[in-house]
Structure 1
């Protein structure tokens, strides 16, 4: 699907005009959006716009790292938006020329639709030109990172609130999933941060002071996103350490129980073993009350040992 928007020299904003009008009418700037293009539409990058083959290759072969390349009379951007459902990066390619913006993407991107609406609703800003259009697109892409990170943040808070010995295994799985998602976001946010730094300091794009202020705002947002990202990564590390501590405490309790049980039964097993030997001359075997006496002795030993453990405070360790 091809969508067009342009501001004519008469300061009239046009929508969805044929591509041929770009050559037959005079525009101050225009924006052509190639959304989910078929093969014929994708071929327009070469046949109609005559872009460099390397940029076309980057458009057709997904998924490239966010970057900024300069050619004779235009700049080529590879941008990443984040799918809020899968938390996976989706590529948007953007050409910024002398008076035009061309976007190319294989998936529907809500951020582009929002940018389009924002441009339409701000007539006073149309005259700022095509750089303003590019700013609106990149700004909306970056703005859409925040809900994704906040969603992960809320999920981490839920994990932290429900952290308990009974749910530690489920929590561990959730933490590893969150860390994986944060790593994906990091692979997008850091290159986008570098890209905006190049845009602001580029001598090829030649931003005005006002335009630099707008792009610097996006750059600041990416810095904030980086801080939130690192904060969440540190939080996952803290939660993981807490989970390992809970696991260690559980294992220590199990070992303590086994140790106490073994300590109680070792002397009892020794007594039972002694009188279980088949020697002919064992006078206790002929005692009338020998069996009862041995049971009483074993009971006294076991009870005494449990009382000693309680006095030492070892039995209190099992209370949660």
Structure 2
């Protein structure tokens, strides 16, 4: 756990910082050929102005400019640097446009490109990392780990909230107080699917960083990326468990619906069976044959009514005895 160690530094939304005994702003031209560690956050427009200075590939700039909302979170490895892009979803509201963050990693620089950040969460995450970084023990890998970890800092809370929502739906099923069940379950399923896909892509990023293909990281510090990957993997596993939970609740809901339908059909069957003899009696006496018994009897009508009541009572007694009512 990183101990809180607040530092004081001037803050602008676009700046490079040298991380040494203090955190101090520097110009980007001071970074090349320096042994210090630097962190930067710039806009897309500023990247267009300086990408050639750092010899970044133009294809990375094209990727940053792309407005494709379905772009995958990924890392591309070059000889002297790595380039990555992350679409940071808001797990509280998956319909909200994700923040879009690109980053370049050199042997002494972690450069963040803040492409789209409506709520300023990317800047806030970097502020938190710089404020909590202990300068005398700082490494490039640790800074990257801390920044990536801030992106998933509150995910456990949202997963717990989702579990509570699913549990609430389950209680509604067993108490037979089902309201808007399918709509709510579909929303939860969509959210779980989006979050799982997001976490799996972050796992891939962590694994790519661990591979260290261009040797820009120190081997002893690769453990930070292993820690990040394990953390995201646990989130992904938790999401999978919730998906299984949703499947169980859906099956319970379907079983409850089948049970309710069976009860309705049972009532219809009982009612139909009770009144079947009455239908037969009515059919007989509706024929009006001349020599039918009681057809001319003074109390014939009342006799048929009494007979019908007796038949209904006997049927009800029999159904109750057989526990069908």
Normalised by the length of structure 1, the TM-score is 0.85
64, 68, 76: which one pairs with 2:75? Answer: 68
Q: Could you say if the C-alpha distance between residues 110 and 191 of structure 1 is closer, same or farther in structure 2, counting changes exceeding 3 Å?
A: same
- Determine the structure 1 residue equivalent to 2:42: 34
CA RMSD of aligned residues (A): 2.5
Secondary structure of the corresponding residue to residue 284 of structure 1: coil
What is the CA–CA distance in structure 2 between the aligned matches of 1:179 and 1:56, rounded to whole Å?
Answer: 35
Secondary structure of the corresponding residue to residue 101 of structure 2: strand
141, 148, 159: which one pairs with 1:138? Answer: 148
Maintained 8 Å contact 2:207/2:225: no
- Determine the structure 1 residue equivalent to 2:250: 240
Q: Structure 1 residue 268: deviation in Å?
A: 0.5
48, 61, 64: which one pairs with 1:59? Answer: 64
Pairs within 5 Å for 1:219-238 = 219-238=229-248
Secondary structure of the corresponding residue to residue 178 of structure 2: helix
- Determine the structure 2 residue equivalent to 1:318: none
- Determine the structure 2 residue equivalent to 1:123: 134
- Determine the structure 2 residue equivalent to 1:99: 108
Q: Structure 1 residue 80: deviation in Å?
A: 3.6
Maintained 8 Å contact 2:14/2:40: yes
Q: Could you say if the C-alpha distance between residues 205 and 143 of structure 1 is closer, same or farther in structure 2, counting changes exceeding 3 Å?
A: farther
What is the CA–CA distance in structure 2 between the aligned matches of 1:102 and 1:168, rounded to whole Å?
Answer: 51
Task: Confirm whether residue 79 of structure 1 aligns to residue 75 of structure 2.
Answer: no
Aligned residue-pair number: 306
- Determine the structure 1 residue equivalent to 2:287: 277
Q: Name the stretch that deviates more: 131-140 or 184-193.
A: 131-140
What is the CA–CA distance in structure 2 between the aligned matches of 1:46 and 1:208, rounded to whole Å?
Answer: 25
Q: Structure 1 residue 173: deviation in Å?
A: 2.1
Q: Could you say if the C-alpha distance between residues 148 and 115 of structure 1 is closer, same or farther in structure 2, counting changes exceeding 3 Å?
A: farther
Q: Could you say if the C-alpha distance between residues 295 and 25 of structure 1 is closer, same or farther in structure 2, counting changes exceeding 3 Å?
A: closer
Unaligned runs of 5+ in 1: 316-320
Maintained 8 Å contact 1:99/1:129: no
Task: Confirm whether residue 6 of structure 1 aligns to residue 43 of structure 2.
Answer: no
- Determine the structure 2 residue equivalent to 1:23: 29
Q: Structure 1 residue 25: deviation in Å?
A: 7.0
What is the CA–CA distance in structure 2 between the aligned matches of 1:2 and 1:112, rounded to whole Å?
Answer: 7
Q: Structure 1 residue 237: deviation in Å?
A: 0.4
Q: Name the stretch that deviates more: 176-185 or 195-204.
A: 195-204
Unaligned runs of 5+ in 2: 1-11
Q: Name the stretch that deviates more: 41-50 or 291-300.
A: 41-50
Q: Structure 1 residue 96: deviation in Å?
A: 0.8
Task: Confirm whether residue 153 of structure 1 aligns to residue 163 of structure 2.
Answer: yes
Maintained 8 Å contact 1:69/1:76: yes
What is the CA–CA distance in structure 1 between the aligned matches of 2:154 and 2:89, rounded to whole Å?
Answer: 7
More helix by share: 1
